[in-house]
Amino acid sequence: AMRLVWFRNDLRCHGHTPLRQALAGAGPVLALYVLCPGQWDAHDVAPLRRWYVLESLRELGEELAARGVDLHVIDGGDFAGAVEVVQRFVADRGVTEVFCNREYPVNELNRDRAVARSLENTGVRIRGFDDGVLVPPRALNTGKGTPYTVFTAYKRRWDAWMEEKGPPLPETPRWPGGQGDFVGRATVRKALAELSVSPRLTELWQPGEAAAARQLERFVARDLAHYKNRRDIPCEAGTSGLSAALSAGTLAPAQAWWVARLAMRDAGVREGAACWIGELAWRDFYRQILHRFPMLAKGAPFRPETRLLQWNDNETLFNAWCQGRTGYPLVDAAMRQLLSTGWMHNRLRMLTAMFLTKHLFIDWRKGERFFMQHLIDGDVAANNGGWQWSASTGTDAAPYFRVFSPVRQSRRFDPQGHFIARYVPELAELDNDSVHEPWKQPLLSGDYPPPVVAHEGVKQRVEAAFRAARDTW
Ligand code: FAD
């Protein structure tokens, strides 16, 4: 019996059930990764994220080889090509069983169904696992048998499910020993060489499983206890910074959950850890939303009546937002953080997304795409969920219409203007009162722009547009 472990967005050895199960049986085990640059292009995957994935893959290949497992990397072009690659690989190598973690967005599902069909009459068995999430996306239903669309209700059930059936403490596989061969080394090197990504970005990040494990350890030891109080303050590194690791799978969600849970034994950490676990639940929530409402991955809004909104096509305003030149300091600092680091703080993702869709009334899909093109953690479920939440086209349960005031957010979450000063040096000299509203300064130096749009009247305008859409629908 020849077993194959097919790696996708789970580039790790620890806490990888397919790998562990494959190695638990007798007989040889091979590993495969299929590159799909065409899919990356189609999904607007940021060059920085591609770099993160390829470097993590390189580390995985070396690690597997050192433990006695060969990793093959084959360029399949896109998902259709991947199906052929897997089919051929299985036939050529006499594979009898394929082990992998399930993926839930619609293109991934279709790819996996096509693979299953292509192996249908060959006797090859495919075994799927759910390490990519904590609670599988079809596990929880409301009393009516429908998916949860309100987070608080989902989270209650999620907590109960985790108590009862949560994943076991992640383990490392039983290695075969000996020296393996990293067959894909040259392919990965070539793909990395073809990437165009600035070293100023890559030097900020550490790809791979080992770095993710260290980052988790550091976060839990130093920041987890204060997470609840610091998570909303962008100038403090109060959040885990693990989103790239979780989305490429260099870290198992089960590992993150277990470490936080064990830390909760310490009374001083309990509140912070519970709050952080809530974020892991949000991650599952948006994955099940995307899986169960597949039209969301095709650009459709969750609230159908919002299809009727007439978004503003103004390219000048869109470009001002993209470049961090809207004249609102915290919005601009946030956009520049994205451009210069490939990451943005959650509070600021909400703020900038709301600014684009409410103040500028520009289509959320344009912002969603721009984020994907720049984020190291770009993830279709979380990104789509976050954008639709911000645009009020999504699953937000708030009984009122949300519009953040960029000035109030700035005063509240960056009171000293530290974050603004870091990314908008034009404003670094303003005191911590005027930095939030620089247009009130007659002697502003440099070329910082005046606000591209006034805050006054935005809420009324947007509310009226949504009301009109609802009434016409
Ligand atoms: P922490 O605060 O340490 O949270 C731990 C983990 O929980 C994160 O790494 C992430 O995996 C998960 N998580 C946290 N918040 C959310 C959330 N709201 N939804 C889903 N999962 C969450 N997250 C992405 O991973 N990829 C994206 O492309 C993405 N796009 C977003 C777009 C918008 C408009 C908004 C409002 C949010 C988006 N998020 C996205 C969610 C969130 O902003 C990031 O996960 C978070 O900022 C990552 O930083 P961290 O790892 O330090 O988070």
**pLDDT tens across the length of the chain (473 residues):** 899 999 999 999 999 999 999 999 888 999 999 999 999 999 999 999 999 999 999 999 999 999 999 999 999 999 999 999 999 999 999 999 999 999 999 999 999 999 999 999 999 999 999 999 999 999 999 999 999 999 999 999 999 999 999 999 999 999 999 999 999 999 999 999 999 999 999 999 999 999 999 999 999 999 999 999 999 999 998 999 999 999 999 999 999 999 999 999 999 999 999 999 999 999 999 999 999 999 998 999 999 999 999 999 999 999 999 999 999 999 999 999 999 999 999 999 999 999 999 999 999 999 999 999 999 999 999 999 999 999 999 987 676 788 999 999 999 999 999 999 999 999 988 999 999 999 998 766 678 999 999 999 999 999 999 999 989 98
Which residue lies with its CA nearest to atom 9 of ligand 1?
A: 243
Give yes or no for a contact between 291 and 107, defined as CB atoms under 8 angstroms apart.
Answer: no
At residue 17's C-alpha, the angle toward residues 16 and 23, to 5°, is 100
Helices (H), 223-314: 227-230, 243-248, 253-263, 267-292
Integer Cα distance of 126 and 92 in angstroms = 17
- Of 384, 405, 396, 407, the residue nearest 458 (C-alpha): 405
65 touches ligand 1 (CB under 6 Å): no
State ipTM.
0.99
Residue 242 annotated in ligand binding: yes
Integer Cα distance of 244 and 36 in angstroms = 19
Integer Cα distance of 151 and 153 in angstroms = 6
| Catalytic site includes residue 346 | yes
Query: How many residues in total does the chain contain?
Result: 473
Integer Cα distance of 414 and 408 in angstroms = 10
| Catalytic site includes residue 110 | no
- Number of neighbours of residue 177 by Cβ within 10 angstroms: 8
Task: Give the atom of ligand 1 at the shortest distance from the alpha carbon of 253.
Answer: 11
Integer Cα distance of 97 and 109 in angstroms = 19
| Catalytic site includes residue 311 | yes
Pocket test for ligand 1, best of 345, 377, 402 (most atoms within 8 A of CB): 377
- Of 74, 129, 24, the residue nearest 3 (C-alpha): 24
Q: Where are the beta strands (DSSP E) in 95-167?
A: 95-101, 125-129
- Could you state, in order of their start, the residue ranges of all structural domains in the chain? 2-131, 132-167+208-292, 304-472
Integer Cα distance of 86 and 91 in angstroms = 9
Integer Cα distance of 113 and 107 in angstroms = 10
279 touches ligand 1 (CB under 6 Å): yes
| Catalytic site includes residue 279 | yes
Tokens 């209700």 map to which residue?
A: 153
One-letter amino acid for residue 360 of the chain: L
410 touches ligand 1 (CB under 6 Å): no
Ligand 1 center from residue 122 Cα (angstroms): 41
Ligand 1 center from residue 7 Cα (angstroms): 23
Helices (H), 119-252: 151-165, 185-194, 199-202, 209-222, 227-230, 243-248
Task: Give the atom of ligand 1 at the shortest distance from the alpha carbon of 350.
Answer: 36
Class at the top of the CATH hierarchy for domain 2-131 = alpha beta
Q: Which of the listed CATH numbers 1.20.58.340, 1.25.40.80, 3.40.50.1000, 1.10.10.410 matches domain 132-167+208-292? A: 1.25.40.80
Residue 177 annotated in ligand binding: no
| Catalytic site includes residue 343 | no
Give yes or no for a contact between 454 and 298, defined as CB atoms under 8 angstroms apart.
Answer: no
Give yes or no for a contact between 291 and 300, defined as CB atoms under 8 angstroms apart.
Answer: no
| Catalytic site includes residue 175 | no
3-state secondary structure 370-432: HHHHHCCCCCHHHHHHHHHHHHCCCCCCCCCCCCCCHHHHHHHHCCCCHHHHHHCHHHCCCCC
223 touches ligand 1 (CB under 6 Å): no
Which residue lies with its CA nearest to atom 3 of ligand 1?
A: 240
pTM of the model: 0.97
Q: Which of the listed CATH numbers 3.40.50.720, 1.10.10.10, 1.10.579.10, 3.40.50.620 matches domain 304-472? A: 1.10.579.10
Q: Which of 6, 321, 343, 387 is catalytic?
A: 387
Residue 112 annotated in ligand binding: no
Ligand 1 center from residue 56 Cα (angstroms): 20
379 touches ligand 1 (CB under 6 Å): yes
**Which two structure tokens, joined as six digits, stand for 316?**
């000048």
106's CB contacts (< 8 A; 6+ apart) are: 294, 297, 298
For residue 181, list its beta bridge partners: none
- Of 299, 303, 320, the residue nearest 363 (C-alpha): 299
